[in-house]
């Protein structure tokens, strides 16, 4: 290994990397339990674990190659990323695969991708590049109109699918990035109040199933075999795990298939049941450290573009963590948001690994080095 390569590796944020690897291990264990994995089992019992393992290996290779490219190049070609994200979201409307009552996926041969997941990191790159030139110059509402339009177009396309959860992720990313962009506090306060007021005002525009999910948030037993079923089974799973859990592959709710979508949206419930309060808190603490390292990278970035990128990524992860964990505990409405690095799925995993590559890139280049 050359001296330049050793210098490059020495500048990596190993705290960030270790936290990501721990989350990936949690994910493999959770998916294995949720899908009844056995090494000598049937294809159905091994399919998800082997595919997720393959996804992880491919993503890590992609991460390594991504590190060789200076992240600052991204701001020069951000319009291409933005247009590509819009093309993907429009393609879903015409060629998308419908499942569970929503058209959110594209079938590419043997692979099924979710463009709205990929669009998250593309929109973060676009927002960061767009706002870098406007840092500390957003003095009024008129200055914000182009930014609102930039995010508003993908939000509307995602709502059309419909995918309210991902649309809210975009808005969460926008809020986080605007917070560090030098926006006056009076505008930030007004936006926060407006967001709160928009919640009840959006009720007439929600689909019937979305209204049902909000209502069962208040009382899941109102429809225990319908809209409230997911929440009730999830609460039973997490509650029955108690302090130390029932043990891996020993959770009644997950092993007996009472818990729907237990390898994707509700994988935290599997972890809560089988690893208990201790395992759940450990997982949340790892996320906390991941977010801490991400914000440290943001503060140490050598330019505003790096700062905005890192804050956008942190906002995405934090929002998804709060919504997903809150959903499984019955304190947030049920959405289709995956748990970062842990839930099964290629699109989500690729987006998160690419986010890690960008963060490592920002960290490595906080001081100029030669390759």
354, part of any domain: yes
162 prior amide bond cis, ω within 30: yes
d(CA 166, CA 155) in angstroms, rounded, equals 8
Least confident of 2-11, 78-87, 198-207, 357-366: 2-11
Q: Which is nearest to 157 in space by CA: 86, 226, 217, 239?
A: 86
371, part of any domain: no
Q: In this predicted model, what pLDDT tens digit does every residue of 117-135 receive, in sequence order?
A: 999 999 999 999 999 988 8
142, part of any domain: yes
Q: Is the pLDDT of residue 237 over 60?
A: yes
52 or 227, which is more confident? 52
Q: Is the pLDDT of residue 368 over 80?
A: no
| Enclosing domain of residue 61 | 3-364
Q: In this predicted model, what pLDDT tens digit does every residue of 138-190 receive, in sequence order?
A: 887 888 999 999 999 999 999 988 888 999 999 999 999 999 998 888 888 89
pTM: 0.92
Q: Which is nearest to 360 in space by CA: 15, 77, 118?
A: 15
pLDDT of residue 371: 36
Q: What integer is the mean pLDDT of 12-16?
A: 91
Helix (H, G, I), strand (E, B) or coil at 66: helix
Q: What integer is the mean pLDDT of 221-242?
A: 87
Q: Is the pLDDT of residue 57 over 80?
A: yes
pLDDT of residue 369: 42
pLDDT band, very low/low/confident/very high, at 370 (cuts 50, 70, 90): very low
Q: Is the pLDDT of residue 40 over 70?
A: no
370, part of any domain: no
Q: In this predicted model, what pLDDT tens digit does every residue of 71-102 receive, in sequence order?
A: 999 999 999 999 999 999 999 988 887 776 67
208, part of any domain: yes
pLDDT of residue 240: 93
pLDDT of residue 54: 92
369, part of any domain: no
Least confident of 170-184, 221-235, 342-356: 221-235
330-366 in b/e form (b: 16+ CB < 10 A) is bebbbbbbbbbbbbbbbbbbbbbbbbbbbbbbbbbbb
Mean pLDDT, all residues of the chain: 88
Q: Could you give the number of structural domains in the chain?
A: 1
- Percentage of residues in the chain having pLDDT higher than 90: 55
Q: Which residue has the tokens 């049941």?
A: 273
291, part of any domain: yes
Q: In this predicted model, what pLDDT tens digit does every residue of 247-306 receive, in sequence order?
A: 988 888 888 888 888 899 999 999 999 999 999 999 999 999 999 999 999 999 989 999
pLDDT of residue 7: 54
């Amino acid at each position: 290994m050359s001296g330049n390569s050793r210098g490059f590796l020495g500048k990596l944020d190993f705290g960030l990397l270790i936290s990501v690897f721990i989350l990936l291990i949690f994910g493999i264990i959770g998916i294995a339990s949720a899908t009844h994995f056995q090494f000598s089992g049937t294809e159905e019992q091994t399919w998800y674990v082997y595919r997720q393992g393959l996804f992880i290996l491919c993503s890590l290779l992609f991460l390594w190659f991504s590190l060789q490219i200076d992240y600052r190049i991204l701001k020069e070609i951000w319009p291409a990323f933005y247009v590509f994200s819009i093309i993907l979201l429009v393609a879903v409307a015409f060629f998308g695969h419908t499942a569970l009552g929503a058209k959110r996926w594209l079938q590419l041969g043997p692979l099924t991708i979710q463009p709205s997941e990929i669009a998250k990191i593309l929109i973060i790159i676009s927002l960061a590049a767009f706002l870098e030139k406007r840092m500390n110059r957003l003095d009024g509402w008129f200055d914000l109109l182009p930014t609102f339009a930039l995010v508003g177009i993908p939000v509307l396309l995602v709502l059309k699918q419909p995918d309210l959860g991902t649309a809210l992720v975009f808005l969460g990313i926008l809020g986080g990035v605007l917070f560090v962009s030098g926006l006056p506090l009076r505008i930030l306060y007004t936006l926060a109040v407006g967001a709160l007021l928009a919640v009840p005002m959006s009720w007439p525009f929600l689909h019937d199933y979305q209204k049902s999910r909000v209502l069962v948030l208040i009382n899941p037993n109102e429809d225990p075999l319908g809209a409230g079923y997911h929440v009730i089974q999830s609460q039973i799973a997490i509650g029955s795990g108690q302090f130390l859990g029932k043990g891996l592959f020993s959770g009644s709710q997950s092993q007996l298939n009472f818990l729907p979508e237990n390898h994707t949206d509700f994988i935290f419930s599997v972890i809560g049941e089988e690893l208990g309060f201790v395992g759940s808190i450990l997982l949340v603490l790892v996320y906390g450290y991941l977010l801490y390292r991400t914000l440290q990278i943001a503060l140490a970035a050598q330019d505003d573009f790096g700062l905005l990128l890192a804050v956008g990524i942190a906002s995405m992860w934090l929002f998804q963590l709060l919504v997903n964990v809150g959903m499984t505990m019955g304190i947030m409405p049920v959405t289709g948001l995956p748990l970062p690095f842990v839930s099964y799925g290629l699109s989500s995993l690729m987006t998160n690994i690419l986010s890690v590559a960008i963060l490592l890139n920002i960290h490595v280049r906080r001081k100029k080095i030669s390759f």
